[in-house]
Structure 1
């Protein structure tokens, strides 16, 4: 019973922190989720977090609530998922209700504009760090040539052709499943070949 309460307490604190400190929208919150889930509480390892994030990105809806739901579900099934989502959205919901009457004043405030400008470099560095980590995993998983080729192709599809991100994600998911199947088959064949040569 105490262990269950401890899991809920950890989940509540982690989701409150991501909700309070997650400034700048869904993707900018992912480094915070990674810190809570991988570094602080060790609910997931880096690889599982990366895979979960990739799948969550491929699904419709806000990324932060999907990640909160997954972590909650992993710990405490459906109740945990609902619990995690509620605690993640609680800080921003309270802030929105509290500040609703001040929106028109705050939108023209130089102080608020300064706060936003001040926090932007932090968000940019966090996103850059996460992009680097995922890039490193991509190169490790696909190899240097394929990894760099995939970066270039995805950039061209998104920025030059202006293909919708969901379509690009689906294309790369399909390619990834074929690529790793072929690699697995090639490795099996190589092992078999070596065994035959040895025997």
Structure 2
């Protein structure tokens, strides 16, 4: 049953993920977190962050990891095939169709109309992650990281993988400054 669910989940992502890997991330989130509950939002965010640091298409990396996590090696193969086969078939069909009818106004309009929808899907997912950061970082630190990321990525052309890797390294290496709290000693109990 899990293999059928894996296939259907990533098949839908492959069929509806118009616009490439980033456009399919909200669809993967909907299937994996909301529908099948194979992971929670924090785990999904971790998989997404790590997947963005590795080379290759994000949709197949996420499908491979999630498939492996849900159903082992066969689940990984199943999820990756469900993700790429529809894309291959649709590429052949749609590119043939678009090349043939690209000059018709409704075909051109259809292609242009999808761009804002993908933008809204990505903005919605981004806002959800930003709201969730309030619980772990607080608004101030989250806002500082967002502004610093925009400056580094958009203005200074720093690759996102370097930024994500730096934040992961910082989180792993930082020393938690736990307050020095001494537990009160109960009467009659002492060393």
Q: Secondary structure at the match of 1:24?
A: coil
Partner of 1:108: 103
Q: Secondary structure at the match of 1:193?
A: coil
1:73-100: per-residue Cα shift (whole Å, max 9, x none)? 0122111111111011111111223345
Instruction: Report the structure, 1 or 2, having the larger helix content.
Output: 1
Instruction: Select the residue among 69, 84, 91 that pairs with 2:86.
Output: 91
Please give the alpha-carbon distance, in whole angstroms, between the structure 2 residues aligned to 1:98 and 1:13: 21
1:57 aligns with 2:52: yes
CA drift at 1:18: 0.4
Partner of 1:42: 37
Instruction: Select the residue among 104, 120, 123 that pairs with 1:125.
Output: 120
Please give the alpha-carbon distance, in whole angstroms, between the structure 2 residues aligned to 1:176 and 1:151: 16
Consecutive unaligned residues of structure 2, counting only runs of 5 or more, are 186-191
Partner of 2:172: 177
* Number of residue equivalences: 185
CA contact (8 A) 1:68 1:85 kept: yes
Partner of 1:186: 177
1:68 aligns with 2:63: yes
Please give the alpha-carbon distance, in whole angstroms, between the structure 1 residues aligned to 2:128 and 2:182: 35
Bigger relative contact order, structure 1 or 2, given CA contacts below 8 A and separation 6+? 2
CA contact (8 A) 1:139 1:148 kept: no
Please give the alpha-carbon distance, in whole angstroms, between the structure 2 residues aligned to 1:20 and 1:170: 31
Q: CA RMSD in A?
A: 1.8
Q: How does 1:134-153 map to 2 (within 5 A)?
A: 134-153=129-148
CA drift at 1:174: 2.1
Instruction: Select the residue among 13, 16, 23 that pairs with 2:18.
Output: 23
Consecutive unaligned residues of structure 1, counting only runs of 5 or more, are 1-5
